[in-house]
Structure 1
Amino acid sequence: MSEAKPQDGSTVKGYRTLSEQDIADMNSLKALSRQFVSHLERLRSDGADPRWLAIAKTDMQTACMAACRAVAQPDGDC
């Protein structure tokens, strides 16, 4: 698994320096997302409708991305 390193803004334009709490919050959000997606995979193996599971996974990924952006607060044009 790759691990993003906090940026100081000098290499990636539009991002601020993340605090330790920001990093912890984003890691927590990502852990929750992974747990949810893992549960979806279990449901798939139990015979749940794969089309709806795919939608649920996509929506979870979108929710996680939006929540991480809320914490990271990148520039509006990023």
Structure 2
Amino acid sequence: MDNQHRKVSGYRELNQDEIDLMNRIKAKGAELLQLQAELEQALMQQVRIKAANALENTSDHAEYERFCSAEPLRWASIGKTDIQTGLMALVRAVAQPAGV
């Protein structure tokens, strides 16, 4: 449906500069989220390698423990959430919806 935003309470017409800015924000967001996904894949590979090494060689167990206690997957997940929150805030700053 064309012009759906006109049927949603609190939204306004955006000018072309605002539309372009919002599209740039969304493009950078997609780029950042792709980078985060690459990081998560790299960390998952590290988990597999470090766990296998720790099983084969007890001297590698301390490195595996260090890695686990640093919680890199948790922090990567928090980073993703913060990126998404930041992007939503930037889009809202451009859109300037009325109300809450």
TM-score, L = length of structure 2: 0.64
Post-superposition Cα deviations, 1:38-58, rounded to whole Å, max 9, x if no partner, equal 111111121172211111011
- The CA deviation at 1:9 is 5.8
Matched, 1:50 2:46: no
Contact 2:40/2:73 (8 A) holds in 1: yes
Structure 1: tracts of 5 or more residues without a match: none
How far is the alpha carbon of 1:72 from its aligned partner? Answer: 0.5
**Matched AA of 2:25:** L
State the Cα RMSD in Å.
2.1
**Matched length:** 73
Percentage of matched positions with identical amino acids: 38
Larger C-alpha radius of gyration, 1 or 2?
2
Separation in 2, partners of 1:64, 1:42: 19
Q: What pairs up with 1:14-33 in 2 under 5 angstroms? A: 14-33=10-29
Quick one: higher RCO (CA 8 Å, sep 6+), 1 or 2?
2
Q: CA deviation at 1:10?
A: 3.7
* Distance change (3 Å), C-alpha of 1:10 and 1:42: closer
Normalised by the length of structure 1, the TM-score is 0.80
Cα 1:46/1:76, change in 2 over 3 Å: same
Q: Is contact 1:6-1:18 (8 Å) kept?
A: no
Moved over 2 A (4+): 5-10
